[in-house]
């Protein structure tokens, strides 16, 4: 899956992919993943696992790479932004289908736009009544997943970042409203930060597909451009700026919004 998914990447890179716990290799895992998966399918476990994985991969290298890129897709954007904010080794962050709103804020916007095919009132009313349940579910997610995810504010971690950040979102994203990414861009500008690049792809959905065309190639081509030494965005560490040559390692977190939630 990954070579095709990232075919627009033109730089020399080593790509590392880590599945969530209790998902088999190459599984797309949409249904019936079991209780073990559901118990481990929470932000705290994701952060622990991905942080450990990245540290282990970097620790195994005899020579540290010039660039380490964290990529987060959908709910993986939450994980990737948090890890990038606390991991000095990460030099670039790339996000697809995620922005600056909490899940609650996103669903309120989608409801206002008439883009929710289900009654979100049940989510707000029933999940808090049994927030640790992995047996009960709403819209393909266990109550525990929704309870853990609903009110996490991603904005503080994003605003901590002084590394280049690129965000790609579909204009007609049916799961993460484009307003969430526009809000993130606005908050970066309000904070006087110029390290965020927002790419909104017209007529495109959550996976950057639209009118029979995948815009992921464009997104990863833009990421490749950011990794070129001549690009004017620089990596900032401890208040100092240092230009980075072409990447030799790419860390990637690919979490789709509804992977294995039943």
In a domain, 6, yes or no: no
In a domain, 90, yes or no: yes
Length in residues, the chain: 262
- CATH at 116: 3.40.50.1820
Instruction: Give me the sign of the Cα torsion angle 10, 88, 54, 82.
Output: negative
In a domain, 5, yes or no: no
DSSP state of 127: G
Task: Give the number of domains in the chain.
Answer: 1
CA dist 105 and 187 (Å) reads: 15
| pLDDT in single tens digits along all 262 residues of the chain | 455 778 888 888 888 888 888 876 555 545 567 889 899 999 999 999 999 999 998 889 888 888 899 999 999 999 999 999 999 999 999 999 999 999 999 999 999 998 887 888 888 899 999 999 999 998 888 999 999 999 999 999 999 999 999 999 999 999 999 999 999 999 999 999 999 999 999 999 999 999 998 999 999 999 999 988 755 444 454 454 444 433 444 555 444 333 333 2
Q: Global pTM?
A: 0.86
In a domain, 237, yes or no: no
In a domain, 239, yes or no: no
In a domain, 236, yes or no: no
Domain that holds residue 33: 12-231+247-254
In a domain, 104, yes or no: yes
CA dist 69 and 250 (Å) reads: 5
- Res 243: pLDDT: 41
- Res 31: pLDDT: 52
8 Å CB contact between 97 and 175: yes
In a domain, 4, yes or no: no
């Amino acid at each position: 899956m990954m070579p095709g998914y990232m075919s627009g990447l033109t730089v020399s890179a080593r790509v590392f992919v880590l599945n969530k716990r209790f998902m088999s290799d190459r599984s797309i895992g949409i249904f019936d993943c079991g209780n073990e998966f559901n118990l481990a399918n929470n932000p705290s476990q994701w952060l622990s696992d991905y942080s450990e994985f990245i540290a282990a991969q970097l620790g195994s290298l005899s020579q540290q790479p010039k660039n380490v890129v964290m990529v987060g897709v959908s709910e993986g954007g939450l994980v990737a932004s948090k890890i990038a904010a606390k991991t000095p080794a990460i030099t670039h962050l790339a996000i697809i289908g995620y922005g600056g709103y909490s899940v609650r804020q996103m669903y309120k916007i989608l409801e206002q736009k008439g883009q929710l095919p289900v009654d979100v009132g049940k989510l707000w009313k029933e999940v808090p009544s049994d927030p640790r349940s992995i047996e009960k579910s709403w819209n393909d997610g266990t109550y525990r997943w929704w309870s853990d995810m609903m009110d996490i504010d991603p904005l503080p971690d994003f605003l901590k970042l002084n590394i280049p950040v690129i965000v790609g979102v579909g204009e007609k994203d049916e799961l993460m409203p484009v307003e969430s990414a526009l809000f993130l861009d606005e908050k970066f500008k309000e904070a006087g930060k110029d390290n965020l690049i927002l790419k909104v792809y017209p007529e495109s959905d959550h996976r950057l597909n639209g009118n029979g065309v995948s815009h992921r190639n464009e997104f990863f081509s833009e990421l490749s451009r950011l990794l070129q030494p001549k690009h004017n965005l620089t990596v900032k560490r401890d208040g100092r700026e240092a230009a980075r040559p072409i990447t030799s390692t790419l860390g990637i977190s690919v979490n789709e919004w509804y992977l294995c939630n039943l």
